[in-house]
A and B are shown apart, each in its own frame.
Chain A
Amino acid sequence: MKRIVVIILILGSLLVPSVVSADSGTSTLAGIEITGRTGDGNWTDNTWKVTMYPGEQKSTTVTFKNPSLRDITLTLSATPSIFDDGNIIISFDNSTLIVPAKSEACAVISASATGSATPETYSAELKVQMLPPPLSITTSDARWITVKGATLNGRLDDLGSFSSVSVSFEWGTSPGALDRETHPKSKRRTGAFRARLPRLSPNTTYYFRAKAEGDGTIAYGDELSFTTKKPKKPFWWFWWWR
Chain B
Amino acid sequence: MKSDIATHLKELLELEDEEIQEFYDAFIKEFDKSCTELQEDGVDADFQKLRIITHTMFGYCENMGAMDLFALAKELNAAAKAEDVPACQASIQKIFQMHEAYLAEG
Asked if A pairs with B, the answer is no
Interface residues of A (CB under 8 A from B): none
